[in-house]
Amino acid sequence: MKRKFLLLFVPAFILYSSFLINNCKAQWIQRTNGINGTVKALAVSGTNIFAGVYLSGAYMSTDNGVSWTAAGFNGHVISAFAVSGTNLFAGSDYGVYLSTNTGTNWVGVKTGIGHPLNVKALAVSGSNIFAAYSDNDYNVEEVSMSTNNGTNWISVRNGLPGEMVLSLAVMGTDLFAGLNNNLGYGGVYRTTNNGTNWASAGLPNRSIRTLAVSGTSLFAGDNGGVLLSTNNGTEWNWVNNGLTNTNVYSLAVSGTSIYAGTAGGVFLSTNNGTNWVAFNEGFSPVPYVYSLLATSNFIYAGTWAASVWSRGLTAAAQVKVIIEGHYNKANGKLNKRDTLRAYLRNITSPFAIVDSARSVIDSITFTGSFLFSNAPSGTYYIQIKHRNSIETWSKPGGQSYTLGSVMNYDFTSAAAQSYGSNMIQLNLSPLRFGVYSGDVNQNGFIDLTDVILVYNDASAFVSGYVKTDINGDNITDLTDILITYNNSAGFVSVVRP
Q: Which is nearer to Ca ion, 199 or 460 (CB)?
A: 460
* Amino acid found at 64: N
State the Cα–Cα distance between residues 136 and 139, nearest whole angstrom. 5
63 touching Ca ion, by CB under 5 A: no
Q: Which is nearer to Ca ion, 83 or 482 (CB)?
A: 482
Q: If DSSP codes are grouped into helix, strand and coil, which group holds residue 340?
A: strand
Shortest distance in whole angstroms from residue 2 CB to Ca ion: 22
Backbone angles phi, psi at 8, to 5 degrees: -75, -35
Using alpha carbons, select from 240, 234, 231, 385 the residue that is nearest to residue 323: 385
Question: Tell me, what DSSP letter sits at residue 377?
Answer: S
Please list every residue from 97 through 156 that binds Ca ion, using CB under 5 A: none
36 touching Ca ion, by CB under 5 A: no
Reported residue count of the chain is: 497
Shortest distance in whole angstroms from residue 475 CB to Ca ion: 5
457 touching Ca ion, by CB under 5 A: no
Please list every residue from 269 through 308 that binds Ca ion, using CB under 5 A: none
Please list every residue from 471 through 490 that binds Ca ion, using CB under 5 A: 471, 473, 475, 480
Binds Ca ion (CB under 5 A): choice among 469, 485, 487, 494: 469
419 touching Ca ion, by CB under 5 A: no
439 touching Ca ion, by CB under 5 A: yes
Q: Which is nearer to Ca ion, 37 or 472 (CB)?
A: 472
463 touching Ca ion, by CB under 5 A: no
Binds Ca ion (CB under 5 A): choice among 445, 453, 487, 488: 445
State the Cα–Cα distance between residues 233 and 251, nearest whole angstrom. 17
Using alpha carbons, select from 407, 414, 361, 416 the residue that is nearest to residue 384: 361
Q: Which is nearer to Ca ion, 257 or 328 (CB)?
A: 328
Binds Ca ion (CB under 5 A): choice among 443, 456, 459, 463: 443
Shortest distance in whole angstroms from residue 486 CB to Ca ion: 14
Q: Which is nearer to Ca ion, 174 or 447 (CB)?
A: 447
Applying CB under 5 A, the span of 146-154, 356-364, 396-404, 469-477 interacting with Ca ion comes to: 469-477
Question: How many Cβ atoms are within 10 Å of 145's Cβ, its own excluded?
Answer: 21
328 touching Ca ion, by CB under 5 A: no
CA atoms within 13 A on the CB side of 227: 26
231-238: long-range contacts (C-beta < 8 A, 24 or more apart)? 232/171, 232/174, 232/190, 232/201, 233/176, 233/188, 233/190, 233/200, 233/201, 233/202, 233/203, 234/201, 234/202, 235/202, 236/202, 236/203
Strand partners, 380: 346, 399
Size of the site for Ca ion (CB under 5 A): 10
Shortest distance in whole angstroms from residue 387 CB to Ca ion: 12
User: Please, are residues 310 and 300 in contact by the beta-carbon 8 Å criterion?
Assistant: yes
466 touching Ca ion, by CB under 5 A: no
State the Cα–Cα distance between residues 110 and 95, nearest whole angstrom. 5
Q: Which is nearer to Ca ion, 112 or 341 (CB)?
A: 341
Q: Which is nearer to Ca ion, 160 or 446 (CB)?
A: 446
Q: Which is nearer to Ca ion, 209 or 385 (CB)?
A: 385
The backbone region for 461, taken as left when phi is positive above 0, alpha when psi lies in -120 to 50, beta otherwise, is: left
Backbone angles phi, psi at 265, to 5 degrees: 85, -155
Shortest distance in whole angstroms from residue 210 CB to Ca ion: 55
Backbone angles phi, psi at 380, to 5 degrees: -135, 155
Q: Which is nearer to Ca ion, 284 or 443 (CB)?
A: 443
* Amino acid found at 347: I
Binds Ca ion (CB under 5 A): choice among 273, 450, 457, 462: 450
Q: Which is nearer to Ca ion, 118 or 484 (CB)?
A: 484
Residues lying near Ca ion in the complex (CB under 5 A) are found at: 439, 441, 443, 445, 450, 469, 471, 473, 475, 480
